[in-house]
């Protein structure tokens, strides 16, 4: 079980402090939301900021590319220090090439599904993936409400990966709280991304710890924790 706080909801003028805080709370990854104002209606950060974060973060960086042309930027984000990188299936016509390009740079490759994108689109790439990220809100903003159907999407993706013999983890991103995390974990999610539930809390260190504890409650087999 890994908790990946999304810095989208952190104070961008104090990212170092924000990251140190959630690391003290037990963050396993730092989730970095990259938005281009084209694929999604918001604009966030690029490789220079990732490079700076990389210098201070103790845990690996999970870079979520919400951009129209990910192929153009994969190398830059890898050089900046991404340990994991995910691209959206909706903007990747040559997904097999893209996934292998990420892996060739020594970065774990993930594919992201928007809420309206079926798990089945991954059928022919499932065996190649290092992780799958299921969006449980429409990407672009932090602090949105969890879309309930995402729970069955997590199950469907887990089943698909299992069918091809791939133990790669399923990640969930959007609207996750201490109140709903156990359900998505029970459905098969093993990387939990959370922004508002952590950084909008009065004590983000404690919120990270509590979210992790709540997530562990969703694991049925103790060995899987």
- 28, 33, 36, 130: the catalytic one is 33
Asked if 34 contacts 63 with a C-beta cutoff of 8 angstroms, the reply is yes
**Between helices 204-216 and 15-24, what is the axis angle to 10°?**
40
Q: CB-hemisphere CA count at 13 Å for 122?
A: 34
Helix (H, G, I), strand (E, B) or coil at 134: strand
Number of amino acids touching ligand DX5 (CB under 6 A): 22
173 is catalytic: yes
Number of H helices, E strands in the chain: 8, 8
Asked if 139 contacts 105 with a C-beta cutoff of 8 angstroms, the reply is no
33 is catalytic: yes
If the CB atoms of residues 54 and 64 are measured against Zn ion, the closer one turns out to be 64
Q: For residue 64, list its beta bridge partners.
A: 33, 86
Q: Which one of ligand DX5, Zn ion, none is in contact with 142 (Cβ closer than 5 to 8 A by kind)?
A: ligand DX5
Q: Which one of Zn ion, ligand DX5, none is in contact with 46 (Cβ closer than 5 to 8 A by kind)?
A: none
142 binds ligand DX5 (CB under 6 A): yes
If the CB atoms of residues 28 and 163 are measured against ligand DX5, the closer one turns out to be 28
Q: Alpha helix (H) ranges present in 127-187?
A: 150-163, 181-187
In this chain, which of 65, 173, 180, 218 binds Zn ion, going by CB under 5 A?
173
With residue 109 as reference, give the H or E element that holds it.
Answer: strand 108-113
CA 88 to each of CA 27, 85, 94: distance values in angstroms, whole numbers, following the listed order? 24, 10, 11
- Three-point CA angle 103, 109, 112, nearest 5°: 155
User: Which residue number places its CB atom closest to Zn ion?
Assistant: 64
214 binds ligand DX5 (CB under 6 A): no
If the CB atoms of residues 27 and 193 are measured against ligand DX5, the closer one turns out to be 193
- 28, 36, 62, 173: the catalytic one is 173
In this chain, which of 2, 31, 108, 190 binds ligand DX5, going by CB under 6 A?
31
Residues 149-208 interacting with ligand DX5 (rule: CB under 6 A): 173-176, 193-197
Q: For residue 22, list its beta bridge partners.
A: none
If the CB atoms of residues 52 and 177 are measured against ligand DX5, the closer one turns out to be 177
Length of the chain: 225
In this chain, which of 23, 33, 36, 151 binds Zn ion, going by CB under 5 A?
33
If the CB atoms of residues 130 and 173 are measured against Zn ion, the closer one turns out to be 173
Return the active site residues. 33, 173
Interacting residues with ligand DX5 (CB under 6 A): 6, 8-9, 31, 33, 64, 137, 139-144, 173-176, 193-197
């Amino acid at each position: 079980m890994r908790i990946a706080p999304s810095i989208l909801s952190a104070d961008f003028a104090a990212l170092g402090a924000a990251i140190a805080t959630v690391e003290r709370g037990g963050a396993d990854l730092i989730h970095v939301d990259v938005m281009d104002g084209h694929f999604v209606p918001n604009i966030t950060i690029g490789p220079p900021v990732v490079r700076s974060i990389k210098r201070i973060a103790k845990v690996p960086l999970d870079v979520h590319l919400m951009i129209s042309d990910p192929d153009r930027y994969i190398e830059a984000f890898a050089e900046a220090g991404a340990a994991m990188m995910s691209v959206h299936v909706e903007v990747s016509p040559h997904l097999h090439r893209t996934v292998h390009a990420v892996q060739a740079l020594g970065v774990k490759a993930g594919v992201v599904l928007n809420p309206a994108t079926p798990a089945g689109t991954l059928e022919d790439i499932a065996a190649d993936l290092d992780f799958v990220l299921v969006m449980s809100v429409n990407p672009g903003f932090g602090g949105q409400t969890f879309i309930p159907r995402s729970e069955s999407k997590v199950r469907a993706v887990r089943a698909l990966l299992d069918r091809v013999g791939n133990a790669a983890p399923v990640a969930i991103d959007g609207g996750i709280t201490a109140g709903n995390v156990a359900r998505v974990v029970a459905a098969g999610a093993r990387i939990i991304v959370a922004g508002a539930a952590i950084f909008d809390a009065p004590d983000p260190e404690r919120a990270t710890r509590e979210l992790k504890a709540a997530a562990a409650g969703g694991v049925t087999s103790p060995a899987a924790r």
